[in-house]
């Protein structure tokens, strides 16, 4: 079997990381893999992709609105048995010429800027009808898509994202000195693109009200709002409290050094970084959104939720968990049996099963 995975780019992001990881794991299963990216962008997913055994084609289009993309994808995938798309522009352009019998897509989010616009419902209907199967990464993702387009219900299935469990379970902690953090500090770590959906602005504003002097916030990731967020930190005089670490390829080691994981997303399809934090043994502070709650509650993790648009609520929950960490310490034990259902191997096996034509 030959499978093409098409994605917008291989820069930072959950969908991009998933493409790299499942591609790497499908190769030992005897599957020939071709990864096609539409636009510029290289980050950790590009770095971890096994380029020695995977054919990587970077189209590097400068514009997202180029009809030539559709024709080129058709030509590049004629030798493939399955064409699996991830992210909107990959979904859109692949659906134009590639035969339906080959097309599978993964729905990665509960929300996007097309939902709620009547004209876009028509375009989405025409696009999704061209797909043989739609893989949703959580129950919330499936429910959201099916509510938007009832026509997708019969071909939507759920396959949860997978985590390289051993990488996070067995990671060694990074010395705090390498992060510029004193041993006495309580480290809260947030992993995610610096974009509107990830809501780091509200988290930074909430940190202004945190009254636990030892609390330090680490932000891992980069994105369009990086400059704006750094200016906000300076404006709020939080330079000694908020540290930007940029894009990292040692997230698992940083999580092992951290005390609390926090994710303030306005919406999430799955929350891969939250599952990784569970595997690293951290208690969690998460926004009260369906894509996170569905997944994390199933893991019996130590977790508390906050309203992502209520800065005072975020502050309150940070103070409570920081004080709990000071008074009680790390007493959280990982339920490895629960985590196994979110392993990468389990996910890849389900993906390969989904490729079989009924």
Looking at residue 330, what is its pLDDT? Answer: 60
pLDDT in tens, 207-238: 999 999 999 999 999 999 999 999 999 999 99
CATH homologous superfamily of domain 2-162+343-354? Answer: Glycogen Phosphorylase B; (3.40.50.2000)
Looking at residue 341, what is its pLDDT? Answer: 84
Stated pTM of the model: 0.84
Average pLDDT, the chain: 93
Strand order across the beta sheet in which 303-306 lies: 242-246, 215-220, 186-191, 260-263, 284-287, 303-306
Which residue ranges make up each domain of the chain?
Answer: 2-162+343-354, 165-340
Tell me if 131 sits within 8 A of 95, measured CB to CB: yes
In angstroms, rounded to a whole number, what is the distance separating the alpha carbons of residues 171 and 76? 39
pLDDT in tens, 45-97: 999 999 999 999 999 999 999 999 999 999 999 999 999 999 999 999 999 99
pLDDT in tens, 252-296: 999 999 999 999 999 988 888 999 999 999 999 999 998 888 788
Mean pLDDT score, 39-46: 94
Tell me if 104 sits within 8 A of 133, measured CB to CB: yes
The domain 165-340: what is its CATH number? 3.40.50.2000
CB-based contacts of 341, cutoff 8 Å, min separation 6? 160, 298
- What count of other Cβ atoms lies within 10 Å of the Cβ of residue 329? 9
């Amino acid at each position: 079997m030959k499978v093409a995975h098409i994605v917008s780019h291989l820069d930072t992001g959950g969908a991009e990381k998933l493409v790299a990881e499942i591609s790497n794991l499908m190769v030992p299963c005897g599957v020939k893999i071709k990864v096609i990216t539409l636009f510029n962008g290289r980050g950790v997913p590009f770095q971890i992709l096994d380029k020695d055994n995977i054919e990587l084609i970077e189209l590097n289009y400068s514009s997202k609105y180029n009809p030539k993309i559709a024709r080129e994808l058709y030509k590049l995938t004629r030798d493939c048995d399955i064409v699996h798309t991830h992210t909107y522009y990959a979904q859109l352009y692949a659906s134009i010429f590639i035969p339906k019998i080959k097309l599978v897509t993964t729905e990665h989010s509960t929300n996007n800027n097309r939902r709620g616009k009547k004209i876009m419902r028509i375009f989405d209907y025409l696009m999704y009808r061209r797909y043989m199967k739609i893989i949703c990464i959580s129950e919330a993702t499936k429910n959201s898509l099916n509510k938007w387009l009832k026509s997708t219900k019969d071909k939507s299935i759920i396959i949860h994202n997978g985590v390289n469990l051993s990488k996070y379970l067995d990671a060694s902690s990074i010395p705090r000195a390498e992060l510029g953090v004193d041993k006495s500090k309580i480290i809260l770590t947030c992993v995610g693109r610096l974009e509107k959906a990830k809501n780091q602005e509200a988290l930074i504003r909430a940190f202004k009200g945190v009254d636990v002097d030892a609390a330090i916030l680490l932000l891992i990731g980069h994105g369009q709002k990086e400059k704006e967020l750094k200016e906000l930190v300076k404006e709020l005089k939080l330079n000694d409290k908020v540290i930007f670490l940029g894009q990292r390829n040692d997230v698992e080691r940083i999580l092992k050094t951290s005390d609390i994981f926090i994710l303030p997303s306005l919406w999430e399809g799955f929350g891969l970084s939250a599952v990784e934090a569970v595997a690293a043994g951290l208690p969690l502070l998460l926004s009260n959104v369906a894509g996170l709650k569905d997944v994390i509650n199933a893991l019996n993790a130590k977790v508390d939720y906050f309203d992502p648009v209520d800065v005072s609520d975020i502050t309150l929950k940070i103070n409570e968990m920081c004080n709990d960490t000071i008074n009680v310490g790390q007493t959280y034990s990982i339920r490895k049996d629960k985590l196994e259902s979110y392993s990468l191997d389990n996910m890849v096996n389900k993906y390969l099963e989904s490729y079989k034509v009924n």
